[in-house]
Structure 1
Amino acid sequence: MHDIMFHKKIKKTLSTIEEVLNNNNKNIDFDYLLLDNMLEITFSNNKKIILTSQIFLKQLWIATSNQGYHLLYKKRTWICIRSKKTIKKILKKEFFIQTNYLFKLNLLNNI
């Protein structure tokens, strides 16, 4: 994937996650900051999920209090290079751990 395409995918992914957060914020207390190629989500328990792009590796990294994930873009989504889980499954699990709420993540299908 060329750098320009990678940047477009990252931008679309992070803005889609921002939309997911806005659509799910009715009963949950969290804040987020979207800045360039980084999205930082802070939950009411002060735990964070941070998504950052790694341009030279063409990866999206997700850092949580539990573990880190390195994802590559394949088959119209981001897939973890170790677990082979999609970004949707990873974020669904990690958001639930922090909030005990099942986020609706359908917007993450076919990013």
Structure 2
Amino acid sequence: MTDTEYMDHAEAALAAIEQACDRINDATDADIDNQRVGGMITMSFQNGSQLIVNLQKPLHEIWLAARSGGYHYRHDGRVWVDTKTGEEFFGNLSREASLQTGLALVFAAA
């Protein structure tokens, strides 16, 4: 994957996260405070916890930091996949956000 292809996929993922936070905040009581600075999105929850999504440009990865640990994802040409477990990024993000809010939240690629 070229640097340009990586950035196209990565920026689309970050935009999808921002759009999902807006949609979730409009439709639920989750109240996710999301802030983006460059290639990083910090999602803060009412219980004081955070999820952090960060681009790792030199590695062509997206990293997710959560209470349960850190996850590294590479784009397989179709979706972002965890480098250790093979799990899909947006599925994991949905699970982690749901754990923080107690609500069934869904994040998905645009």
Q: TM-score, normalised by structure 2?
A: 0.91
Partner of 2:97, secondary structure, is helix
Identity %: 23
User: Where does 1:38-49 land on structure 2 (aligned, <5 Å)?
Assistant: 38-49=40-51
TM superposition shift of 1:45: 1.0
**Stretches of 4+ aligned residues off by more than 3 angstroms:** none
Tell me the distance in 2 between the aligned counterparts of 1:10 and 1:40. Answer: 15
Residue in 1 that maps onto 2:33: 31
Q: How many residues align?
A: 108
- Are residue 62 (structure 1) and residue 64 (structure 2) matched? yes
User: Where does 1:70-109 land on structure 2 (aligned, <5 Å)?
Assistant: 70-105=72-107, 107-108=108-109
- CA root-mean-square deviation: 1.2
Partner of 1:4, secondary structure, is helix
Q: Which amino acid aligns with 1:70?
A: H
Structure 2 unaligned runs (5+)? none
Partner of 1:84, secondary structure, is coil
- Are residue 7 (structure 1) and residue 7 (structure 2) matched? yes
Show CA shifts across 1:76-101 (max 9, x none). Answer: 11000111100122012101110011
Q: Which amino acid aligns with 1:81?
A: T
Partner of 2:29, secondary structure, is coil
Tell me the distance in 2 between the aligned counterparts of 1:4 and 1:104. Answer: 28
Tell me the distance in 2 between the aligned counterparts of 1:59 and 1:88. Answer: 14
TM superposition shift of 1:27: 1.2
Structure 1 unaligned runs (5+)? none
Partner of 1:98, secondary structure, is helix
